Amino acid sequence: MTKAPEQIRPEPRAGIMDIAAYVPGKSTAAAGVAKVHKLSSNENPLGASPHAIEAVKRLAEKMEYYPDGSAARLRQAIAATHGLNPANIMCSNGSDEILGLLAQSYLSPGDEAVFTEHGFMVYRIYIQAAGATPVVAREADEKADVDAIIAAVTPKTRIVFLANPNNPTGTYLPFEEVRRLHAALPKNVLLVLDAAYAEYVRRNDYEAGVELVAANENVVMTRTFSKIHGLGGIRIGWVYAPMHVIEVLERMRGPFNVNAAAIEAGVAAMEDRAHVDRTVAHNAEWAEWLSKEFNALGLRVTPSVGNFLLVHFPEDAKHSAAAADDYLGARGYILRGVTGYGFPNALRMTVGTEEANRGVVAALTEFLRS
Ligand SMILES: *Cc1c(COP(=O)(O)O)cnc(C)c1O
């Protein structure tokens, strides 16, 4: 097909315009609402550590200086807290960046990468952005199914992405299951364990993946400061990976991918264990309370180990998830619609402050009576 000269313009690589761009959780409520409670992006209702806030204020006086491109102090702080070798850690502009770099580094057109039915949506985007083919493994009971993932692996598979715990379901795989998955994967397939919510999990049979990374050449674990540390806005993620993967990612990342404020905030947050403990305790208390209250209202809640709940609504149109979303939004409670994740009649709610949690339950009580 030849084009007239006036129709010629720069064209992106094939496949890029097929990507459905990520739609973040809403952050505004209906006009005129007195107070907005944003419960749509799994942010920390207690905010960031006060030490992190101070560190960013101090950094504001020195913004003319480039950051340390290797984020050495931040890697040291992470390593000290988690008992890891800092050489096996790379930091990033949110863990999303790592997920994208892994896809760009290990996927070529024609390759396949696997993730699960209700898995985190960002995987599909990065797989497509690398020109590779997304392959979806079905879930069982809203939970990753190791046998289905193994069955989805073909000779073309290069990466398996597993969010553990998963967003938006909040379900997790016990570590024995993750081990079983790894044992069944060919050695040239990279297993990406996305442990964005690891700190919230209080289950004896859960592990984020440190040991599996340390003992193998084909496993990496990604983590984030956006969730438990309350630093979503400043963008810090990290990966723990074998040296050969670090050497690849170091070539692919931007030279200053973690900004100076992020480094300062991250070091302070990592060292503030008390803030992490407070957050975990708040979450455990209110996640349980919310689940019970929703169940008492007749709403099914997917069992969650994270800082959010997937709440399922009745079949009648008057009380659907979409109607509930409008009702809550009009009262300042912003939840997350999850139609794109295969749950057209559910909403995901981040565990909020006491005020927000009680407010949502009160509003839904009225809504269901209406
Ligand atoms: C929130 C989230 C992330 C990462 O977020 P960043 O802010 O980019 O670090 C990664 N994976 C899952 C499953 C998440 O829910």
Ligand 1 pocket member 120 (CB < 6 A): yes
Strand partners, 239: 90, 222
- pLDDT, one tens digit per residue, over 78-136 is 999 999 999 999 999 999 999 999 999 999 999 999 999 999 999 999 999 999 999 99
**Cα-based angle 286, 93, 118 (whole degrees, multiple of 5):** 50
State the pLDDT confidence band at 3, using cuts at 50, 70 and 90: confident
pLDDT on residue 26: 75
Considering only CA atoms, which of 230, 265, 262 is closest in space to residue 352?
A: 230
Ligand 1 pocket member 226 (CB < 6 A): yes
Chain mean pLDDT for the chain: 96
pLDDT on residue 1: 63
State the alpha helices, DSSP H only, in the chain. Answer: 50-59, 72-82, 95-106, 122-129, 146-152, 175-184, 210-215, 243-252, 260-271, 273-296, 321-330, 354-369
pLDDT on residue 19: 94
For the ranges 3-12, 66-75, 84-93, 229-238, the lowest mean pLDDT is seen at 3-12
Q: Residue 2 carries which side chain, given as an amino acid letter?
A: T
Considering only CA atoms, which of 164, 115, 113, 146 is closest in space to residue 341?
A: 115
| Domain 16-47+274-369 in CATH 3.90.1150.10 | yes
Q: Could you give the CA distance from residue 173 to residue 170 in angstroms, rounded to a whole number?
A: 10
State the pLDDT confidence band at 166, using cuts at 50, 70 and 90: very high
Residue 353 scores a pLDDT above 70: yes
Q: Which atom of ligand 1 is nearest to the CA of 194?
A: 11
Q: Which atom of ligand 1 is nearest to the CA of 224?
A: 9
Burial degree of 297 (CB within 10 A; 0-12, 13-18, 19+): middle
Mean of the pLDDT values across residues 189-207?
Answer: 98
Sign of CA dihedral 93, 98, 99, 101: positive
Ligand 1 pocket member 112 (CB < 6 A): no
State the pLDDT confidence band at 5, using cuts at 50, 70 and 90: confident
| Tokens at 162, concatenated | 């597993």
Q: 360 CA to middle of ligand 1, Å?
A: 24
CATH 3.90.1150.10 residue ranges for the chain? 16-47+274-369
- pLDDT, one tens digit per residue, over 250-301 is 999 999 999 999 999 999 999 999 999 999 999 999 999 999 999 999 999 9
- Nearest CA residue ID for atom 10, ligand 1: 196
State the pLDDT confidence band at 229, using cuts at 50, 70 and 90: very high
Residue 31 scores a pLDDT above 80: no
pLDDT on residue 6: 86
Mean of the pLDDT values across residues 154-179?
Answer: 98
| Domain 50-272 in CATH 3.40.640.10 | yes
pLDDT on residue 2: 78
CATH 3.40.640.10 residue ranges for the chain? 50-272
pLDDT on residue 108: 97
